[in-house]
Chains A and B, each alone.
Chain A
Amino acid sequence: MEKAIIRTIMPGVDLIYVHTDKFKTGHLSVNFMLQLSKADAAKNALVMHVLRRGCKRLPDLKSISEELDRLYGATVDPLVRTIGEVQCIGLSANFADDRYLPGHEDILEKTVNLTAEILLDPATKGGLLRSDYVRSERDNLCDAIRSDMSDKRTYSFLRLKELMFAGEAYGTDRNGTLKSAEKIAQIALTKHYKNILSTAPVKMFYCGGADEERITQALLNAFSTLPRGEIDFSAGTDVRVECGEPRFFSEAMDVTQGKLTMGFRLGEVMYAPDYAAIAVFNAVFGGGVTSKLFMNVRERMSLCYYASSSTDRFKGVMFVMSGVEFDKYETARDEILAQLAACADGDISDGELSSAISFLVNSVRAMEDSVASLDAYYVSRSLDGLTYAPSEYAMLIGEITREDVVKVAKSVKLDSVYFLRGTDKEGE
């Protein structure tokens, strides 16, 4: 696969372009990069859903759906994600490559135009985003937040984040909080939207068979009316290296299995982070089926069905999640910490290290076969100015040594533990 080309095509607008003929559909995402904050997260999430309800030319859901049908089942969907403490909102479009359409009909320009119309030319009333759309999407956003709370694995993860990062933006979920979502009003949202358009840096990502000239021209034409004021490039992530004594939280709900979630800070390695080393450490400790957590907490001790770790290199944190019997909470927690201590002591076999590296190299290289993975990879890398391709990142991973892994493990500190247990029915 060809290497990504990154060019600034308008003030504050970068296009990340990856050419390939191997997919049958083209993919475009348009991302506005904003500072994640408790105050604005829900507004940011909401605005994309309101825009998707209708634009001037296609003022309701039905007419947008009809247009997408005419574009041979193209999709244009709201996109709300976080990368560290940057909230990234926009639209993501996927559309058939001309080569596979009857008469090789050109739909790239039409899909790009539709994406731009939805973002820039919304259905309005009296200059404001339509109040009925704002109200109904606000209700839907509240439902989506509630829905995340219904899945207990997700819920316990969100609760841990909320508690562990109480004073940090990171504690806010991508959709914001229910409390802030409920309060959003039409006028404030319209103002907020206009401000985003003129001040947010934009990252566009395209992957597909069109040449660079064609997609660039299509985007420049479609986005010619994007207002560009003074661009605010300040969005970023606050990394905290220190943490105090571990904090322990526990809550009760009507569940049949306990959900254990643990939050760690990666510590001083974040002063000069070696991302490949952090990734290999995570794979050795809890990233896959050869990891210490899988082999010990699940296979050897039979304590759980899942126990795995994940890291966020932007924030410099790691999470461990597991589902265990209520009375095995302490056993599982202590075993997880014992496995971390083993990593820090260098108790890592050649097999564990090489399996972890192979597992990671394989999954990083495989990203080149999925547009969604490529999108996530390049858009997040563009935030810290790293442009290497997945295949190059895979080579860096291949060079990581046991010492590199131990260095990361030694630096990791437990910050908070959250345990969701069952309700004690007899005690009521």
Chain B
Amino acid sequence: MTFRDYPELGECIYSGVLENGLAVYVMPKKDYVKTFAAFATRYGGSDCRFKLGDKFIETPAGIAHFLEHKMFDMPDGKDAMTSLSALGASPNAFTGPDTTCYIFSCTDKLDESLRILLDFVMTPYFTDASVAKEQGIIGQEIRMCEDNPSHVVFENLLKAMYSEHPVRISVPGTVESIAEITPKTLYDCHKVFYNPSNMVLAVAGRVDPEAVFKAAREVVSAEAGQVPVRDTGFSESPLAASSRISRQMDVSIPSYLIGFKLKPDPAGGDALFRQNLLAELAMDYLAGPSSKLYSRLYEQGVINDSFGCGVGDEAGALYAYISAEGENCDEVADEIIREASTLSRTSGEHEYFERLKKSGIGGTLRALNSPEACCMLMINSHFFGYDAMTELDVINSFRVEDVLAFLKENLVPEKMTLSVVEPIKKVNS
């Protein structure tokens, strides 16, 4: 177990890797009542094709998410969700494009809850009947997503921006694809991805680090496995596969995402983390709340406070985006591109840039108030090989020229995809 102190942030992290490869991170937080624990595997909706033994196998879309639902069933007939709740913990789980995460929060009986969490995630148990039952429940979850405009606009963006990358695959899959799932496929996927070398445990809040390491050592008896080999055999152009995708839904106001495809630094780790932070700062410089563009478009009534910008980084797909609601998505896209081009021809506003860097401090501190956010920081740092706690130092190292170069290279029409969900156009019958 090693200890790292971040005095300027008032935090410290205990971490270590067990013999079987399981990584453990603990961030104790003074005076907190609650503890948040997350047990994650680097396996998500984008990992449908991977190597088992010496050959690649294909699995149905939505299988990582399906597996997440089914992990709670235990061989003794118990349900881990119920066992954790009975102890007073609030359990849950979620699946993203590159991670599956099992979580709980509690204010009491941490050790017992933690042992249940570690045990059920490592214990596969699937039957034909339980798989069939879950097809009904997940089918309804998929329908719920299909009715949710923000879900549709996001999925469509990725589908249109990428041509080959598996981030295009919908995380919950489709009603048809999940119908192909059998207990056998679930066991295979569990075996490959739920091995300790591919997993991390993170705990934050009221917690004794020693006790977490002890529980992990005692409960996770699985031996070290191989880090799974994912299919990276796809070729993805640096340009957006298509520039516009729209869908009509029964909504009252359009919502849209404007994405810019970025080329992730192949070195990964710190370099990719740096690239992420630079992209965020550049988007903020271009279109954040104190940018010229934001106030001009807001005052013209083109945008409202639903307008925001950010960076997405999922399963190795990296993109910058603008998200908003309103009638003028094409106009906004034009304005963004034009402003980026104008800015990149200036020498930069140093005072504005330094102020933006300063303003990052509040947000970083706010995130650290939340044990949930702290766990996610530690998990991502581990899986993707960087140290999220160094964020402010990295941001401080940027110069305005870096931001301008980023805008020049990336905020260009060829890399842009616009995804919009519009109200149904009523035709007179």
Contacts and interface: CB of A to CB of B under 8 A. Distances in A.
Interface of A: 1, 20-25, 49, 60-62, 65-66, 68-75, 94-97, 99-101, 132, 136, 139-140, 143-144, 146-147, 149-153, 253-257, 259, 288-290, 295, 298-299, 302-306, 323-325, 351, 354-355, 358-359, 361-363, 365-366, 368-371, 391, 428
Contacts of B365: 24-25, 96-97, 100
Interface stretch (B13-21, B189-197, B244-252): B244-252
Contact of B85 (A140, A255, A257, A289): A289
A95 B365 CA distance: 9
Contact of A73 (B29, B86, B294, B359): B359
Given A24-B369, A25-B365, A140-B304, A69 B88 contact: no
A324 B143 CA distance: 9
Interface residues of B, number: 74
Contacts of A95: 362
A74 B366 CA distance: 10
A289 B81 contact: yes
Nearest to A295: B82
Given A257-B143, A303-B136, A361-B107, 11 more contacts: A24-B368, A61-B299, A65-B289, A72-B362, A143-B304, A304-B140, A305-B137, A324-B140, A355-B86, A366-B107, A368-B34
Contact of A143 (B147, B326, B361): B326
Contacts of A72: 358-359, 361-362
Contact of B289 (A61, A100, A299): A61
Contacts of B30: 21-22
A362 B107 contact: yes
B9 A61 contact: no
28 contacts: A1-B33, A21-B30, A22-B31, A24-B369, A25-B366, A65-B288, A65-B294, A69-B355, A70-B359, A75-B362, A100-B10, A139-B301, A139-B304, A143-B253, A144-B304, A146-B252, A147-B253, A152-B148, A254-B249, A255-B147, A256-B143, A257-B143, A257-B147, A304-B137, A323-B147, A325-B140, A358-B85, A366-B34
B393 interface: no
A146 B79 CA distance: 41
Contacts of B310: none
Contacts of B255: 147, 150
A409 B368 CA distance: 41
B338 interface: no
Q: Which 5 A-B pairs have the closest CB atoms?
A: A73-B362, A358-B88, A65-B290, A257-B143, A302-B136
Contact of A96 (B249, B251, B253, B361): B361
Contacts of A365: 33-34, 107
Contacts of B292: 62
With a 10 A CB-CB cut-off, give which of A1, A150, A151, A391 has the most chain B CB atoms: A150
B205 interface: yes
B250 A255 contact: yes
A355 B31 contact: no
Contact of B253 (A150, A288, A323, A361): A150
A395 to B, nearest CB: 13
B79 to A, nearest CB: 8
Nearest to B327: A143
Contacts of B304: 139-140, 143-144
A22 B29 CA distance: 8
Contacts of B305: 49, 140
A362 B250 contact: no
B356 interface: yes
Given A96-B365, A351-B86, A1 B31 contact: yes
B315 interface: no
Interface in B248-301: 249-253, 255, 288-290, 292, 294-295, 298-299, 301
Contacts of B86: 290, 351, 354-355, 358
Given A355-B82, A362-B107, A368-B33, A149 B359 contact: no
B326 A69 contact: no
A152 B91 CA distance: 26
Contact of B32 (A25, A139, A369): A369
Contacts of A22: 29-32
Contacts of B299: 60-61, 132, 136
A75 B148 CA distance: 29
B63 interface: no
Given A69-B358, A365-B107, A100 B8 contact: yes
Contacts of A61: 289, 294-295, 298-299
A288 B362 contact: no
Contacts of A323: 140, 143-144, 147
B89 A362 contact: yes
B33 A366 contact: yes
Nearest to B368: A24
A70 B361 contact: no
B401 interface: no
A50 to B, nearest CB: 12
B87 interface: yes
B423 to A, nearest CB: 8
Interface in B125-158: 133-134, 136-138, 140-141, 143-144, 146-150
Contacts of B33: 1, 365-366, 368-369, 391
Given A100-B9, A136-B299, A257 B290 contact: no
B26 interface: no
A257 B371 CA distance: 35
A339 B49 CA distance: 43
B106 interface: yes
A282 B205 CA distance: 28
B360 interface: yes
Contacts of B251: 149-150
B252 A355 contact: no
B88 A362 contact: yes
A349 to B, nearest CB: 11
Contacts of A65: 288-290, 294-295
Contacts of B144: 153, 257, 305-306, 323
A147 B252 contact: yes
Nearest to A65: B290
Interface in B311-339: 325-326
